[in-house]
Chain A
């Protein structure tokens, strides 16, 4: 059990006005004796997922005697992003807010460091995957606690039947439903194999649905390709290294692959690929299981043929896009001790397992030892479709723009520099060198302090 129970001092501080000084701790623990706590969680799209999180929080609040207020804030229409920006400016609002991917680093100066809490959580749960640490510890300090709700992989979601029939790829042999990845078979799943399959499926009338837009799904997919080729835009030290043979090779490959993608892929957003797969038009997309979950409801005949599996491998390895969510405590929070206590409670293995089950397997906690929950083995149809959705086989979890320093990587990611480079070649007819020169100028701008 974690030591993040509320201390006597914080309890008294939090309950000022309601607790008479000098009262013994035992007597002080009346209703809401430990003060108030306000939390803004990400509003989960899976029906019922919020209920489990609420129940876990209420259990904690009852035990710790905290007056807990929970808001669920949707990410649609950038509501959560705007709430975070507004509270950061106003220095007022929730004590804890859910923050995705880059936000703990963006607001590092305004967040309470949680090194002490993370030390204890990591001692209990084991290490996080490298992406979680890269994003959550941007300046050598943990700025937020990895959250289970919303954390996701964006590997391929493929049609078993179409891939076998038109591309001759047996995904079940590579990533079987009842066991770990078959290393020998999975080794054949490379970006070159994907390109060949894309061409065949395109000819058969089922093009792969990979967007070339500027939203997260597009950036993650092409980012994993760049990493598989060893193409980096900016290195760990902040040097611009985009002009390299690796980048030229990745761009050349991207141009060849783009020829077999839907004509308007350049205008796709994060919903376009989902609709593409659910409609039955496409053989493969890169996405968490949300498209599959919607297909289960709207197009069950499509859903039962969808298989989630790791990304293809390139010359430098197999890189799977992982996007974590975090819970950050604002530095202005008046009840940090209670906030840390709640986050410790939500970071236990038991809580994470319940949250994963409630999300029907969509959420993937950032702790590598938590990748064995039974939800992923049982979800279907087809049964086992999520078995290889958490990390599997030789896949390395990654995020586009890494390993650049956080503030630069954030700009590369959010301004979609990688997909814009490809779009300049595919649509603008530019050469690889010209696209790289453009990217260099953009990157110089991102260095602004």
Chain B
């Protein structure tokens, strides 16, 4: 009797547990629903809509399939923009990562008391809206009244055509991007550095490792995942950069600072060829997709290795 009652009770508990789990799943779904709808409306729909636009003719009255893509492949300006986007994104990310790494180490070594102050100050470029800070940079580079050139002239040096010469202009836009993005790397690396167990450094000290060896054999392996993720994230953001190039050079001189986003805007909005503009912006997707696959695969493998070590 007691046994039968116990069994029924267990069944009731299991049944109630199952319905609770189902109810929880529904609650979770409804809680996520606003976000799902937001992603559908702001990410999925625009992505498919731009794919649709890219298959229309210039007047958007006729379906032309992949004709816009094949057309772009034959344009020399397109290949110049591809090259420039790669130069811009890769060099900016490398410098941001190096400077961020260096700054993170410097800040990490500061005593706790002063560290917060320095951390805050170094983050300033990253927290100012980029359109605003880029306008200040533009004022410093401005062709006729460049503040930087005023300084150079005041110490007897020649003025530099910051935005007038294509190569200086490329340097200038990359410099601003590095200035803006390096603090992000710094804060990420600083957080990662703080999570490296001190025992590892102590063990390295006991083994007689010098500072460089500790960097190579302790710090870098421990930071490898965060470096990979930040590089990937920054690569995506830098490839898609618009505001810095748009404000400083608008792609000039002679189109030699255009990146995908600014050239897409030039073609799509300013020249009223929306299908071609959509086409250019879609070229970023396979490049970034390939980068994401390689980097995330490495991160995943590394995580599994770490899990294997600790597990």
Q: Does B57 interact with chain A (Cβ within 8 Å)? A: yes
Q: In the complex, what's the smallest C-beta–C-beta distance from A74 to chain B, in angstroms?
A: 16
- Name the contact of A85 in the complex, choosing from B74, B159, B250, B269 (C-beta under 8 A): B269
* CB-CB nearest in chain B for A110: B60
Question: B residues 234-264 with Cβ under 8 Å of A?
Answer: 249-255
A214: which B residues are within 8 A, CB to CB?
250-252
Interface stretch (choices A119-127, A243-251, A261-269, A306-314): A261-269
B213 at the interface (CB under 8 A from A): no
B195 to chain A, nearest CB (A): 43
Q: Does B154 contact A (CB under 8 A)?
A: no
B248 nearest CB neighbor, chain A only? A267
> B212: CB under 8 A from chain A?
no
Choose, from A45-53, A390-398, A420-428, the stretch at the interface: A420-428
Shortest distance between the CB of A180 and any CB in chain B (Å)? 36
Bound-state CA distance A437–B238 (Å) is 34
Residues of A within 8 A of B163 (CB): 264, 267
Residues in B whose Cβ lies below 8 Å from that of A281: 144
Assess whether A42 is interfacial by the CB under 8 Å rule. Answer: no
Q: Is the CB of B61 closer than 8 A to any CB of chain A?
A: yes
Contacts of B178 in A (CB 8 A): none
Scoring B residues 42 to 76 as 1 if CB is less than 8 Å from chain A, else 0, what string do you get?
00000000000000011101000000000100111
- Chain B 138-160, CB-CB to A under 8 Å as 1, else 0, gives 00000111000000000000010
Give A291 Cβ to nearest chain B Cβ, in Å: 14
Please indicate the chain B residues that have their CB under 8 angstroms from the CB of A109 in the complex: 59, 61
Q: What separation, in Å, do the CA atoms of A3 and B159 have in the docked complex?
A: 63
In the complex, identify which listed stretch (A15-23, A334-342, A410-418) lies at the interface while the others stay far away. A410-418
* A213 to B255 CA separation, bound complex (whole angstroms): 10
Which listed segment binds A: B21-29, B270-278, B300-308?
B270-278
**A82 interfacial contact with B, CB 8 Å:** yes
Contact B144 A264, beta carbon cutoff 8 Å: yes
A441 cross-chain contacts in B, Cβ below 8 A: 76
CA distance A448 to B164 in the complex (A): 31
- Is B161 interfacial (CB 8 A cutoff)? yes
Assess whether B266 is interfacial by the CB under 8 Å rule.
yes
B255 cross-chain contacts in A, Cβ below 8 A:
420
Q: How far is the CA of A276 from the CA of B271 in the complex (A)?
A: 28
Interface residue count on the B side (C-beta < 8 Å): 34
Known: A272-B144, A445-B71. A81 touches B270 (CB 8 A): yes
- Give the docked Cα–Cα distance between A279 and B252 (Å): 24
User: Is A78 part of the contact surface with B, judged by Cβ < 8 Å?
Assistant: yes
Cβ-defined partner of A268 (8 Å) among B57, B143, B159:
B143
Contact between B272 and A267 (Cβ–Cβ < 8 Å)? no
Please encode chain B, from 107 to 127, with 1 for each CB lying within 8 Å of some chain A CB and 0 for all others. 000000000000000000000
Q: Give Cα A109 to B57, complex, Å.
A: 13
Chain B residues, CB < 8 A from A262: 143-144
* A407 interface residue per 8 A CB criterion: yes
Q: Are A103 and B272 in contact (CB under 8 A)?
A: yes
B186 close to A (CB within 8 Å): no
Tell me the interface secondary structure of chain A in the complex.
helix
The CA of A428 and the CA of B252, in the complex, are separated in Å by 13
Q: Does A330 reach chain B (CB closer than 8 Å)?
A: no
Contact of B144 among A276, A414, A448 (CB under 8 A): A276
Is the CB of A449 closer than 8 A to any CB of chain B? yes
Judge whether A267 and B271 touch: CB under 8 Å: no
User: Distance in Å from the Cβ of B119 to the closest Cβ of chain A?
Assistant: 34
Contact B71 A213 (CB under 8 A): no
Contact (A411, B253) CB under 8 Å given A264-B143, A264-B163, A267-B169: no
Contact B250 A269 (CB under 8 A): yes
Q: Is the pair A266, B271 in contact by a Cβ cutoff of 8 Å?
A: no
Cα A149 to Cα B71 in complex, Å, equals 39
Chain B positions within 8 Å of A415 at CB level: 266, 271
Assess whether A449 is in contact with B249, with CB atoms less than 8 Å apart: no
Q: Are B254 and A428 in contact (CB under 8 A)?
A: yes
Taking A85-B274, A109-B61, A420-B254 as contacts, is the C-beta distance between A267 and B161 under 8 angstroms?
Answer: yes
Whether A275 is near chain B, meaning CB under 8 Å from some CB there, is: yes
A266 near B272 with CB under 8 A, answer no
A106 at the interface (CB under 8 A from B): yes
Q: Is there an interface contact between A263 and B75, defined as CB atoms closer than 8 Å? A: no
The answer on a CB contact under 8 Å between B145 and A267 is no
Q: Which residues of A contact B74 (CB under 8 A)?
A: 445
Residue ID in chain A nearest B62 by CB atoms = A449
Contact assessment for A449 and B57 in the assembled complex, using a CB-CB cutoff below 8 Å: yes
Which residues of chain B have C-beta atoms less than 8 A from A449's C-beta? 57-59
B230 to chain A, nearest CB (A): 31
The minimal Cβ–Cβ distance linking A327 to chain B, given in whole angstroms, is: 18
CB distance B273 to A411 under 8 Å? yes
**Min CB–CB distance B292 → chain A (angstroms):** 29
Q: Which residues of B contact A442 (CB under 8 A)?
A: 77
- The yes or no answer to A376 lying at the interface (CB within 8 A) is no
Q: Are A448 and B266 in contact (CB under 8 A)?
A: no
Is B253's CB under 8 angstroms from A448's CB? no
A407 in contact with B164 given A214-B250, A214-B252, A427-B254 (CB within 8 Å): no
User: Of the candidates B57, B71, B144, B273, which one forms a contact with A275 in the assembled complex, judged by CB atoms under 8 Å apart?
Assistant: B144
Q: Which of A267, A423, A442 has the most chain B CB atoms closer than 10 A to its own CB?
A: A267
Measured between beta carbons, the chain A residues less than 8 angstroms from B266 are 414-415
Nearest opposing residue in chain B for A86, CB measure: B269
How distant is B67 from chain A, measured CB to nearest CB, in Å?
8
B133 to chain A, nearest CB (A): 16
Q: Return the 7 tightest CB-CB contacts between A and B, nearest first.
A: A264-B143, A264-B164, A106-B272, A414-B271, A267-B164, A267-B163, A266-B253
Given contacts A262-B143, A264-B164, 6 further A-B contacts (CB under 8 A): A81-B269, A266-B252, A267-B143, A267-B163, A275-B145, A281-B144
Residues of B within 8 A of A (CB): 57-59, 61, 71, 74-77, 143-145, 159, 161, 163-166, 169, 249-255, 266, 269-274, 276
13 pairs, CB–CB < 8 Å, chain A vs chain B: A106-B272, A213-B253, A266-B254, A275-B145, A276-B144, A407-B58, A411-B273, A414-B266, A414-B270, A420-B254, A423-B253, A445-B74, A448-B276
